[in-house]
């Protein structure tokens, strides 16, 4: 399980029933987990807040409705996070604003802003290899991301599945199911 204090499987339990695209699709759960691992590496290199960056990975594409141009999906992901604040999302106002704005603006091509926003966007852009695009240094925000291009791009190109992260999610998922707290997310557990 990623070393963050948020209960990511419980958050996924809330998100995935409303995610209508394939979990292994271009913008699905396997992309989210690669973004998560990119983000964790970037947080270690930059000192960015890992809670914000990890939650961005989970929410930024969570309310896409197609795999192509999908106007407003970042805003919808941000609003989804807002709807869970106080229940499953526990961030102070400043950090929550960073998460919200990082999701809302993540497809606008911006390369400047608060450190957490830069790291969120870099963690996503480093996974462009899944659609045949090598991230360009000029489109990345941080030098840490420049240094990570080769590692992340190789994983993106072959659509690496972060099995350790997913296995940890599914172990917790089974715990939730055994505790009788889970009625959905069957697709993700397959
Ligand atoms: Fe993404």
Q: How many CA atoms lie within 13 A of 107 on its CB side?
A: 16
Indicate whether 1 pLDDT > 50.
yes
The larger pLDDT score, comparing residue 178 to residue 100, is at 100
**Per-residue pLDDT tens digits for 57-99:** 999 999 999 999 999 999 999 999 999 999 999 999 999 999 9
What's the rounded Cα separation, in Å, for the pair 72 and 106? Answer: 10
Confidence (pLDDT) at 180: 55
Cα(139) to ligand 1 centroid in Å equals 15
Cα(180) to ligand 1 centroid in Å equals 32
What's the rounded Cα separation, in Å, for the pair 102 and 141? Answer: 13
Cα(60) to ligand 1 centroid in Å equals 6
Indicate whether 186 pLDDT > 80.
no
pLDDT band at 179 (very low <50, low <70, confident <90, very high): low
For the chain, the distance separating the N- and C-terminal CA atoms, rounded to the nearest angstrom, is 18
Cα(64) to ligand 1 centroid in Å equals 10
Cα(181) to ligand 1 centroid in Å equals 29
Cα(98) to ligand 1 centroid in Å equals 17
pLDDT band at 185 (very low <50, low <70, confident <90, very high): very low
Cα(170) to ligand 1 centroid in Å equals 21
**Per-residue pLDDT tens digits for 127-174:** 999 999 999 999 999 999 999 999 999 999 999 999 999 888 888 777
> What is the percent of the chain where pLDDT is above 70?
91
Task: Kindly state the helix (H) or strand (E) to which residue 51 belongs, with its residue range.
Answer: helix 50-59
CA distances from 88 to 2, 12, 14, 153 (A): 16, 10, 9, 32
Indicate yes or no: pTM above 0.85.
Answer: yes
Cα(32) to ligand 1 centroid in Å equals 7
Q: Which of 22-36, 55-69, 166-180 has the lowest mean pLDDT?
A: 166-180
Across the range 15-34, mean pLDDT stands at 93
Cα(27) to ligand 1 centroid in Å equals 6
To 10 degrees, the CA torsion angle through 92, 96, 26, 185? 50
Mean of the per-residue pLDDT values for the chain?
91
Residue 170 · residue 179 · CB < 8 Å: no
The larger pLDDT score, comparing residue 1 to residue 34, is at 34
Confidence (pLDDT) at 184: 39
**Per-residue pLDDT tens digits for 102-112:** 999 999 999 99
What domains can be seen in the chain, in order of their start residue?
Answer: 8-181 (1.10.3210.10)
């Amino acid at each position: 399980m990623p070393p963050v204090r948020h209960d990511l499987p419980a958050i996924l339990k809330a998100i995935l029933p409303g995610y209508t695209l394939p979990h292994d699709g271009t913008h699905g759960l396997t992309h989210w987990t690669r973004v998560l691992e990119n983000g964790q590496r970037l947080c270690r290199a930059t000192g960015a807040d890992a809670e914000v960056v990890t939650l961005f990975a989970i929410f930024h594409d969570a309310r896409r409705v197609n795999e192509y141009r999908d106007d407003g999906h970042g805003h919808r992901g941000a609003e989804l996070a807002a709807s869970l604040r106080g229940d499953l999302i526990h961030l102070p106002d400043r950090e929550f604003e960073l998460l919200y704005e990082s999701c809302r603006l993540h497809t606008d091509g911006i390369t400047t802003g608060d450190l957490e926003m830069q790291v969120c966007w870099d963690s996503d852009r480093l996974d462009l290899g899944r659609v045949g695009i090598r991230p360009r240094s000029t489109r990345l925000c941080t030098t840490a991301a420049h240094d990570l291009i080769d590692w992340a791009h190789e994983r993106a190109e072959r659509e690496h599945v972060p099995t350790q992260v997913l296995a940890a999610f599914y172990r917790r998922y089974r715990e939730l199911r055994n505790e009788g707290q889970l009625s959905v997310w069957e697709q993700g557990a397959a």
